[in-house]
Structure 1
Amino acid sequence: MEKVSKVFWISIVIASIFVGWGVVAPAHLGAVMDRTKAFFLSSFGWFYQLSATFFLIFAIFLIFSKYGKIKLGADDDKPEFKRSTWFAMLFSAGMGIGLLFFGVSEPVSHFANPPIGEGGTGEAAKVALRYTYLHWGFHAWAIYAVIALVLAYYKFRKKEPGLMSVTLTPLLGRRATGVIGTIIDVVAVFATIFGVAASLGLGAAQINSGLSYIAGIPNNFTVQLIIISIVTVLFILSASTGIQKGIKYLSNANMALAVILLIVFLVLAPTRFVLDLFTTTLGSYIQNLPSMGLRLAPFNEESASWIQGWTIFYWAWWIAWAPFVGTFIARVSKGRTVREFMVAVLVIPTLVCAFWFAVFGGTGIYFEFFKGLNVSGQSLETVIFFVYQQLPLTGLLIVVTLMLITTFFITSADSATFVLGMQTAHGSLNPPNIVKIVWGFFLSASAVVLMLSGGLNAMQTAIIVSAFPLTFVLIAMSFSILKDFNLELKTGKSR
Structure 2
Amino acid sequence: MPGIGVERTGTKFTTNVAVLVGAIAVTLSVIVWAFVAPDNLAEVGTAALAWVTTNFGWLFSALAISIALFMLVVGYGRTGGIRLGADEEKPEFTTRSWIAMLFAAGLGIGLLFYGPLEPLTYFQSPAPSQDVQGGTEAAILPAFGQTFLHWGPIAWSFYALVGGAIAYSAYRRGRAPLISALFEPVFPGSTNKVLGKFIDFFAIIVTLFGTAVSLGIGALQIQSGFMFVTGLGPFGNMFLIGAIAVLASLFIASAVSGIKRGIRMLSNVNMVLTGALAVFVFVVGPTVFILNYLPASMVEFVKQLGAMLTLNASQGPEAVEFLGAWTTYYWAWWVSWTPFVGMFIAKISRGRTLREFVTTIVLVPSGIVIGWFVVYGSTAIFMTMNGEDLQSGGTSEEVFFQLLQRLPLGMITSAIAMVAVIVFFVTAADSASIVMASMSQSGRPEPAKWVTVVWGLLLALIASALLLAGGQATLSGLQQLMVVSALPFAFVVIGVMISWAKDLRTDPYIIRHRYARAAIAQGVRRGIDEYGDDFVFGASEVPADEGAGAGFDSEDPALTEWYVDAATDALSTVTSEDVRRTLEPGRIQPRGENQPSRAASGDAALTVGERIEHEHDDEHDDAK
TM-score bracket, normalised by the shorter chain, equals over 0.9
Amino acid at match of 2:154: H
Counterpart of 1:4 in structure 2 is 15
Amino acid at match of 2:15: V
Counterpart of 2:506 in structure 1 is 487
Which of the residues 443, 458, 477 maps onto 2:477?
A: 458
Write the distance in 1 (CA, Å) between the matches of 2:55 and 2:194. Answer: 29
Write the distance in 1 (CA, Å) between the matches of 2:301 and 2:114. Answer: 18
Query: Does 2:218 align with 1:199?
Result: no
- Using the TM superposition, name which of 439-448 and 93-102 deviates more: 439-448
Q: Note the alpha carbon deviations across 1:366-418, whole angstroms, 9 max, x for none.
A: 0111x122235552100111111221010111011000000000000000000
Counterpart of 1:103 in structure 2 is 115
Write the distance in 1 (CA, Å) between the matches of 2:135 and 2:220. Answer: 27
Report the alpha carbon displacement of residue 193 of structure 1 after superposing the two structures with TM. 1.2
Write the distance in 2 (CA, Å) between the matches of 1:408 and 1:328. Answer: 15
What TM-score results when the alignment is normalised by the length of structure 1?
A: 0.96
- What RMSD in Å do the two structures reach over aligned CA positions? 1.6
Counterpart of 2:101 in structure 1 is 89
- Using the TM superposition, name which of 282-291 and 201-210 deviates more: 282-291
Contact 1:103/1:356, CA 8 A, preserved across alignment: yes
Which of the residues 463, 473, 486 maps onto 2:492?
A: 473
Contact 1:450/1:458, CA 8 A, preserved across alignment: no
Q: Note the alpha carbon deviations across 1:308-358, whole angstroms, 9 max, x for none.
A: 101111111111111111111110111100111001111111111011000
Counterpart of 2:148 in structure 1 is 133
Seen in structure 2, the aligned counterparts of structure 1 residues 292 and 299 have a Cα distance that, compared at 3 Å, is closer
What TM-score results when the alignment is normalised by the length of structure 2?
A: 0.77
Aligned positions of 1:412-423 closer than 5 A: 412-423=428-439
Contact 2:42/2:478, CA 8 A, preserved across alignment: no
- Using the TM superposition, name which of 454-463 and 238-247 deviates more: 454-463
Amino acid at match of 2:339: P
Counterpart of 1:341 in structure 2 is 357
- Using the TM superposition, name which of 64-73 and 20-29 deviates more: 20-29
Write the distance in 2 (CA, Å) between the matches of 1:142 and 1:326. Answer: 10
Show structure 1 runs of 5+ residues with no match.
Answer: none
Report the alpha carbon displacement of residue 31 of structure 1 after superposing the two structures with TM. 2.5
Amino acid at match of 1:95: L
Contact 1:209/1:219, CA 8 A, preserved across alignment: no
Which of these two proteins has the greater Rg computed from alpha carbons? Answer: 2
Q: Note the alpha carbon deviations across 1:152-198, whole angstroms, 9 max, x for none.
A: 00111112111100010111122442001011111111111122112
User: Aligned with 1:246: secondary structure?
Assistant: helix
Query: Does 2:224 align with 1:213?
Result: no
Report the alpha carbon displacement of residue 456 of structure 1 after superposing the two structures with TM. 4.6
Amino acid at match of 2:207: T
Q: Note the alpha carbon deviations across 1:434-477, whole angstroms, 9 max, x for none.
A: 11111112222332344434245214313212211111111111
- Using the TM superposition, name which of 144-153 and 192-201 deviates more: 192-201
Amino acid at match of 1:4: T
Counterpart of 2:46 in structure 1 is 34
Counterpart of 1:404 in structure 2 is 420
| Greater fraction helix | 1
Report the alpha carbon displacement of residue 297 of structure 1 after superposing the two structures with TM. 4.8
Amino acid at match of 2:43: A
Counterpart of 1:181 in structure 2 is 196
Amino acid at match of 2:455: W
Show structure 2 runs of 5+ residues with no match.
Answer: 1-12, 516-553, 555-600, 602-624
Which of the residues 455, 459, 465 maps onto 1:443?
A: 459
Report the alpha carbon displacement of residue 3 of structure 1 after superposing the two structures with TM. 3.6
Q: Note the alpha carbon deviations across 1:102-151, whole angstroms, 9 max, x for none.
A: 11111111111111332101111111111111110011100001111000
User: Aligned with 2:407: secondary structure?
Assistant: coil
- Using the TM superposition, name which of 78-87 and 40-49 deviates more: 40-49
User: Aligned with 1:419: secondary structure?
Assistant: helix
Contact 2:48/2:481, CA 8 A, preserved across alignment: no
Identity fraction in percent: 35
Write the distance in 2 (CA, Å) between the matches of 1:376 and 1:310. Answer: 19
